[in-house]
Structure 1
Amino acid sequence: MEVEEAPGYGQFEVKFTGKSIIKAINPLPGPHILTLSNLDLLSGRFPVTYFYFYSKPFHVSNFIPIVDILKTSLAQTLNYYYPFAGRIIPNPNTGEPEIVCDNKGALLVEAQANIRLKELNFYNLNQCLQQGKLVNLTPDFPLQIQLTHYTCGGISITFTFDHALGDASAFGNFLVSWSEITQKKKMSCIPNHRRNLRARFPPTYHPSLDQTFVKCTIEEIINMPTNKIRLKRLYHIDASSIERLQKLACINGYKRTKIEAFSAYVWKVMVSAIDECHSKCKMGWLVDGRGRMCGDENSMSNYIGNVLSVAFAEASLIELKQNSISDIANNVHEAISKVTNQDHFQDLIDWIECHRPGLMLSRIVLGQGGPALVLSSGRRFPVAAVDFGLGSPVLGTVCSTIERIGVAYLNQRPSARGDGSWTISAILWPELAAALESDTIFQPMSAGHLQL
């Protein structure tokens, strides 16, 4: 699908000026294999990219010292996050991926943009991702970083991780640790690389998991129906809008979270963006199991790996049209509650054990089962805290370079402004984008929102 350049934005070009392989300065004594957990296998191997943008630091006038400082601190950080400097290759016997911790290194690319940071089209992420301008991936490196300098002195840093390395919580810990080491601060997280999420013997699970997850082939993944889900967009949502939605969701004595209220609103809006041949639609939520596996979130807060499941709910279009935000938020709350417990995550680990080896995915993510949208909440994901001596970023968000995707996605992050507003990164079909933008809640991200 052709993506037109938005009016009012100059032609964005990037010139690559340098490439370095950064290795841990104190590597392990010898290479060793880190076996992935069952939940790592479920998350798969696709790339996850985080974008951080910094306006010109008042005390920095030269790009070269910044690059040198980041290279040095990254090498120090990889001492603690050594799997991020390894290789991910198939096990010769099972074919399942495993991490070879051999300090091959992370790839760091330097680039120069031809525009000022404020001229970047923050709304149309398709444009930023075209031709590898801000994310130029090389398959051999599980961690890749690109530092791009803008004509105004602003800087963007994009971090791309192989999902086998971990999930948002793991990557957030890495980014905070790197920024702390850069600023010569004490590390607030000592990473745990044990990946000790084991199946029971014998494994057993609730039969409902067979309806949610499925073993699949690489051909099914490559050929999944995309349902026109190709628009990559970035939105700003005011704190006042979030609070208003939460008030609507909390009537009748119910106490609902901001995410539950926001989900109810989005689910209701979806109705106008679905073809009449469908009578139902689904919504899903990524759920972090760190606080559920042990009953104490802090006990796994430094766990580096994947501890994710997904909750799903289905509703008829008629039901969504007629019900209030409060009614729909109750359905959201009930669906999420079903997976926010230790039994669910242990069942999921056992389900994967029963279906190894091979590829496994959620049926909905694979594009099976009609129109659907998945929401990922990153309310605790570090944004303002990722400071490499450049000051706090004006924007920190996530996006995917994947071309084929079977389900719409919304990724919520707190705004770098620290005023309670949100940044939403989205992958949508055109009708859904139009429906969300028809209201004042989803505001196309602009330089004005970032106070550039």
Structure 2
Amino acid sequence: MEVEAPGHEIFEVNFTGKSIIKAVNPLPGPHILTLSNLDLLSGRFPVTYFYFYNKPLVSNLTPIVDILKSSLAETLNYYYPFAGRIVQNLNTCEPEIICDNNGALLVEAQANIRLKELNFYNLNQLLQGKLVKLSPDFPLQVQVTHYTCGGISITFTFDHALGDASAFGNFLISWSKITQKKQISCIPDHRRNLRARSPPRYHPSLDQTFVKCTIEEIINMPATKIRLKRLYHIDAASIERLQKLACVNGNKRTKIEAFSAYIWKVMINAIDQSHSKCKMGWLVDGRSRMCGEENSMSNYIGNVLSVAFAEASLIELKQDSISDIANNVHEAISKATTQDHFLDLIDWIECHRPGLMLSRIVLGQGGPALVLSSGRRFPVAEVDFGFGSPVLGTVCSTIERIGVAYLNQRQSARGDGSWTISAILWPELAAALESDSIFQPMSANHLQL
């Protein structure tokens, strides 16, 4: 599909090359990596991280794409499951990773416009079929696109069964360091050893939060209006102002809690009158919760995520202050940030195997809802492959059907406290968010291009 950049010629991408990159020192023989219980909660959604870079200041005799191919092959020595295949085990009816060095796919492309002419705001037009071209045979796919100004974009698409944001962040940092001939700081842990207790036991509330499903049910979930994929910039001053509104009467609330309260209040202007309530959810990383030490699972490669959620009536959200709502957000998130919660979740999954599991609100069960993912530790400026830090680094998914709106927060590459927000929204919610000055549609000006 042709994509028109406003005020400029039609955005076209010519695919110029395709390579399968294998680890240079693979394991002695193929072996099977069994997914952990929490991996079965990932939904197998494709996740794409995309980074944009200005023209390198220093020219290199070796083409950039050749440098990336060589360093990726070395990186896959450490992240060997990323060069494997994800297949369905016919006996267990669950996916597993065949670590056979099948390889990662790297695609090369040439765009016909300059970076500054891209429509960064409309991710539907920017990514699908242009900067992300998926092949089902490779759980890791990379596309390197060159622009007429000398700028570069790199998109990394992962099958969610490989890991979560923390795992993918470790991979990108390792790859960038290897490219620069630096020592990697993360020796990845591929044990996938998050196992159930014996006998398994869990709090009955998890039956209302999560549900067993198949990959077919995920792919073919009922169509909704949640199809708009957008990218926004939020100034540091706006974030600080929201946090001040949330921190009253001696309460200390995080920026994410304050931001969540604001979003939840805006949602009431975007919900059909037939609904009296709406939900919010928050992705929670369990690494520090599982072992009690901040870095004890920092190198764990896999999924260690849960979803905290809360429900509120539209009347309450309309009447309550940002501070009141932020208190409710804090209470909801706190329930999922404990070791007991994650142990219960692992056991709940054990009791419902075989198969995949998913949060009910992600499947669209239970009315209007939005899930927020905070990526305050996710690397942006640090993803430097030797030709400078990116001007933009964020995330989106190419999934066509989803039952819940999503907001993904990342630190801006500018390093000034501002945020980049990637969103999947229904039209009324996009209009409600954009009616205020806090959500600014992403532009080349925000990226200082």
TM-score over 0.5 (shorter chain): yes
Mapped to 1, the partners of 2:2 and 2:93 lie a distance apart of 38
Match of 1:231 among 228, 250, 265: 228
Indicate the residue corresponding to 1:328 in structure 2. 325
Identity of aligned residues (%): 88
Indicate the residue corresponding to 2:258 in structure 1. 261
TM-score normalised according to structure 2 size: 0.98
Match of 2:426 among 422, 426, 429: 429
Indicate the residue corresponding to 1:34 in structure 2. 33
Indicate the residue corresponding to 1:21 in structure 2. 20
Q: CA deviation at 1:220?
A: 3.2
Deviates more, 1:303-312 or 1:83-92: 83-92
Q: CA deviation at 1:65?
A: 1.1
The one-letter code of the counterpart of 2:255 is K
1:118-172 deviation per Cα after TM superposition (whole angstroms, max 9, x unaligned): 0000000000123x11000000001000000000000000000010000000000
1:145 aligns with 2:142: yes
Indicate the residue corresponding to 1:169 in structure 2. 166
Indicate the residue corresponding to 1:83 in structure 2. 81
The 3-state SS of whatever aligns with 1:90 is strand
Question: Aligned pair in 2 of structure 1 residues 30, 220: CA closer, same or farther (>3 Å)?
Answer: closer
The 3-state SS of whatever aligns with 2:63 is helix
Mapped to 2, the partners of 1:137 and 1:120 lie a distance apart of 21
1:213 aligns with 2:210: yes
Question: Aligned pair in 2 of structure 1 residues 231, 249: CA closer, same or farther (>3 Å)?
Answer: same
Does structure 2 retain, via aligned residues, the 8 Å contact 1:9–1:121?
no
Mapped to 1, the partners of 2:218 and 2:69 lie a distance apart of 36
Mapped to 2, the partners of 1:105 and 1:4 lie a distance apart of 31
1:211-253 deviation per Cα after TM superposition (whole angstroms, max 9, x unaligned): 0001123443234234300000000000000000000000111
1:121 aligns with 2:125: no
Indicate the residue corresponding to 2:52 in structure 1. 53
Mapped to 1, the partners of 2:156 and 2:374 lie a distance apart of 19
Does structure 1 retain, via aligned residues, the 8 Å contact 2:393–2:412?
yes
Question: Aligned pair in 2 of structure 1 residues 404, 9: CA closer, same or farther (>3 Å)?
Answer: farther
Please provide the CA RMSD for this pair: 1.3
Q: CA deviation at 1:188?
A: 1.1
The 3-state SS of whatever aligns with 1:252 is coil
Indicate the residue corresponding to 2:6 in structure 1. 7
Does structure 2 retain, via aligned residues, the 8 Å contact 1:61–1:153?
no
Q: CA deviation at 1:360?
A: 1.3
Does structure 1 retain, via aligned residues, the 8 Å contact 2:6–2:119?
no
Indicate the residue corresponding to 1:110 in structure 2. 108
Question: Aligned pair in 2 of structure 1 residues 189, 371: CA closer, same or farther (>3 Å)?
Answer: same
Alignment of 1:265-344 (within 5 A): 265-344=262-341
Q: CA deviation at 1:357?
A: 0.4
Mapped to 2, the partners of 1:148 and 1:427 lie a distance apart of 24
Question: Aligned pair in 2 of structure 1 residues 412, 9: CA closer, same or farther (>3 Å)?
Answer: farther
Does structure 1 retain, via aligned residues, the 8 Å contact 2:5–2:11?
no
1:92 aligns with 2:86: no
Does structure 2 retain, via aligned residues, the 8 Å contact 1:50–1:396?
yes
Alignment of 1:282-431 (within 5 A): 282-431=279-428
1:310-361 deviation per Cα after TM superposition (whole angstroms, max 9, x unaligned): 0000000000001000000000000000000000000000000000002211
The 3-state SS of whatever aligns with 1:185 is coil
Aligned residues: 449
The 3-state SS of whatever aligns with 1:286 is strand
Question: Aligned pair in 2 of structure 1 residues 389, 6: CA closer, same or farther (>3 Å)?
Answer: closer
Indicate the residue corresponding to 1:203 in structure 2. 200
The one-letter code of the counterpart of 1:97 is P
